[in-house]
Chains A and B, each alone.
Chain A
Amino acid sequence: MQLEIKERALGEVVILDLIGKITIGEGSVQLRDAVSNLLDAGRNRIILNLGGVVYVDSSGIGELVSRYTTTKNAGGRLKLLNLPKKIKDLLMITKLLTVFEIYEEEEAAVNSFL
Chain B
Amino acid sequence: MMLAENVVELTIASQLEYIDLVTTLTDNITSMVGFDDETAYWINMAVRESVANAVEHGNKYDPQKSVDIRFTIGVDALRVSIRDYGDGFDPQTLPDPLDPNNLLNPAGRGILYMRTFMDTVEYTSHPEGGMVVTMSKRRTPRPSTRDLGEGDHNHDAVGN
Contacts and interface: CB of A to CB of B under 8 A. Distances in A.
Given A93-B113, A94-B112, A95-B98, A24 B19 contact: yes
Interface string B47-62: 0110010001000000
B104 A86 contact: no
Interface in A62-96: 62-63, 65-66, 68-69, 86, 90, 93-96
B52 A59 contact: yes
B45 A57 contact: yes
Interface residues of B, number: 22
A57 B97 contact: no
Contacts of B52: 24, 57-59
Contacts of A99: 103-104
Interface in B69-124: 97-98, 103-110, 112-113, 116
A66 B19 CA distance: 23
B103 A58 contact: no
Interface string A39-65: 000000000000000000111011101
A11 interface: no
Given A23-B48, A24-B52, A59-B52, A65 B110 contact: no
Interface string A9-24: 0000000000000011
Nearest to B17: A25
B106 A65 contact: yes
A65 B97 CA distance: 12
Nearest to B45: A57
A65 B49 contact: no
B22 to A, nearest CB: 13
Nearest to B98: A95
Contacts of B105: 62, 65
A58 B16 contact: no
Contacts of A23: 19, 48
Contacts of A25: 16-17
Nearest to A26: B16
A50 to B, nearest CB: 16
Contacts of B48: 23, 57
Given A25-B16, A95-B98, 9 more contacts: A23-B19, A23-B48, A25-B17, A57-B49, A58-B110, A59-B107, A93-B113, A95-B103, A96-B103
Interface of A: 23-25, 57-59, 61-63, 65-66, 68-69, 86, 90, 93-96, 99
Interface of B: 16-17, 19, 41, 45, 48-49, 52, 56, 97-98, 103-110, 112-113, 116
